[in-house]
A and B are shown apart, each in its own frame.
Chain A
Amino acid sequence: MTVMENISALNTPLLQVDGLTKRYGARIGCADVSFDLWPGEVLGIVGESGSGKSTLLSCLAGHQTPDLGRVRYEDRDVLAMAETERRRLSRTDWAYVHQNPRDWLRMGVSAGGNVGERLMAIGGRHYGQIRETATDWLGRVEIASDRIDDRPSAFSGGMQQRLQIARNLVTSPRLVFMDEPTGGLDVSVQARLLDLLRGLVRDLGLSVIIVTHDLAVVRLLAHRLMVMKSGRVVEQGLTDQVLDDPQHAYTQLLVSSVLQV
């Protein structure tokens, strides 16, 4: 790479989203969503239930096919990509953390096997190294190493979620999609998980798109915020700006209702 190309690579968004629209029959999932995500950036997507956050996220990751619009990851057209390539990307460069870990962990496989799966999927063939990396990752998500051979069914909800995070981050992805990662957990457990996530995002320099209906989550994690209502983005900007000085009436309502809680 020449110096000029290097500089221009730094000046290229990691993800470019343009006019993304997904309908379910006559119903709108999300409509005309456009934004850029820069390397190292954490983008929060907020909005009440049914506002299209999950639909948008799954379209971005290629889990659903949008009706209109474009998604570019670096220089690649995600929607035009062959499925093989997209699935490879989702095992290497990308990660997806879902709200309900039980649906996304292999409940019949040990914690170590769950964390090691992605390593083996991309060609890891040394048991000792896989186990060492799994042990290391369990430590990073605060799961004691002597639990490595236990199945996730023996874990608490918070531990299961941390295991899902380890299982996703073990291949050092660059872009992480998170859909309500703290949802369904007790408040005290949520706080600890948020702390952990913040540390990991910072230490690993992850780029993250995090969907939540909980403004406290984005306040803590997100650099930038998009507010969605009825499938559309009604406001976006720096997190503190949007939360402290909301412009759109809907955002004002959202922020004030949180303050009243």
Chain B
Amino acid sequence: MTDQSYNFAYLDEQTKRMIRRAILKGIAVPGYQVPFASREMPMPYGWGTGGVQVTAACLVPEDRLKVIDQGADDTTNAVSIRKFFARTAGVATTERTDEATVIQTRHRIPETPLTPDQILVYQVPIPEPLRFLEPRESETRKMHELEEYGLMHVKLYEDIARHGQIATSYAYPVRVEGRYVMDPSPIPKFDNPKLSGCPAIQLFGAGREQRIYALPPWTEVVSLDFDDHPFEASKAAHDCDLCGAGHSYLDEVITDDQGTRMFVCSDTDFCAGRREAGHQGRLWASQPEAAE
């Protein structure tokens, strides 16, 4: 039921139009950070106010919304954003990737391949990939304008010099269609390959920093690397202990005081779907009640 004291999806129509213009511009110039006038939202920054505003501008009454936080649908953050839109927009919600039309996410791309009729909205804390080495906004703008991206490789160089390999494992920088260098938000680099050639529209919203950027469907996205230190979409060298998946991103979970560990899919919907389909992991097979 829609709460009638709010406009559909909380934001007023004029604000949504302004955000949609920024989104369209972002789609027209893939990877380019479009400034927008971020609004106060009834939740703190860091809770995805940028993503929430983008989602609000995209939603129509027929949509089915999924919200994930680090792969899970049931964290406080994900639950409250889902409730927020159920209340202010009255849209249906789901935990299933293949049923959703709009997915708002923090820190993950779903394992289930996305489709052309879906929109994936990322919550972005720091949109500027060059910020780490060049704090001056005037200078980073110029670098994007003139495609001066040597600094990005300096960051990777420093990684290798210090750790023997590219240690950046989240928010791994990418080049979009050979033009803009982009921060994919703090997704694990395991997810980077899914950014490229994706059939869904991918939108990125940074609330505090007031930036929106986008990847239209089928955009080429390349992770930066060196010839002799090529990009690797790494993950823990285990299978999921619940569903047995060997190719999904895993969280490490400590299960008791003795430090016993298990590895489980970070994408809870994907994991549950596999178990429903009869797949079994090491712990699920032996003692399902313990794993639960």
Chain A residues at the B interface, C-beta cutoff of 8 Å:
83-84, 87, 91, 106, 108-110, 112-113, 116-118, 120-122, 124-128, 130-131, 148-149
Contact = CB atoms under 8 A, between A and B. Distances in A.
Contact of A126 (B148, B162, B228): B228
A127 B160 contact: yes
Given A83-B146, A109-B133, A113-B161, A127 B154 contact: no
Contacts of B160: 127
Contact of B157 (A84, A118, A120, A122): A120
Interface string B141-171: 0000010101101100110111000000000
A138 to B, nearest CB: 13
B157 to A, nearest CB: 5
A118 B160 CA distance: 18
Given A106-B133, A109-B133, A117-B151, A127 B157 contact: yes
A126 B153 CA distance: 10
Contact of A112 (B133, B148, B153, B157): B157
Which of A83, A91, A125: most chain B CB closer than 10 A? A125
Contact of A110 (B151, B158, B229): B158
A113 B158 contact: yes
B158 A117 contact: no
A109 B148 CA distance: 18
Interface of B: 133, 146, 148, 150-151, 153-154, 157-158, 160-162, 225-229
Contact of B148 (A110, A121, A125, A130): A121
Contacts of A91: 150
A106 B228 contact: no
SS of A interface (majority): helix
Contact of B162 (A120, A128, A149): A149
A28 to B, nearest CB: 28
A100 B263 CA distance: 52
Contacts of B228: 126-128
B134 to A, nearest CB: 9
A113 B226 contact: no
A106 B154 contact: yes
Given A110-B161, A113-B161, A116-B157, A127 B226 contact: yes
A56 B181 CA distance: 36
Contacts of A116: 154, 157
A149 B164 CA distance: 12
Contacts of A121: 148, 150-151
A153 to B, nearest CB: 14
8 contacts: A106-B154, A109-B133, A112-B161, A113-B154, A117-B150, A120-B150, A120-B151, A128-B228
A199 B68 CA distance: 62
A233 B7 CA distance: 71
A130 B150 contact: no
Nearest to A83: B146
A131 B162 CA distance: 13
Contacts of A127: 157, 160, 226-229
A90 to B, nearest CB: 11
Contacts of A117: 150-151, 154
Contacts of A113: 154, 157-158, 161
A126 B229 CA distance: 8
B170 to A, nearest CB: 20
Given A112-B157, A120-B157, A149-B161, A126 B150 contact: no
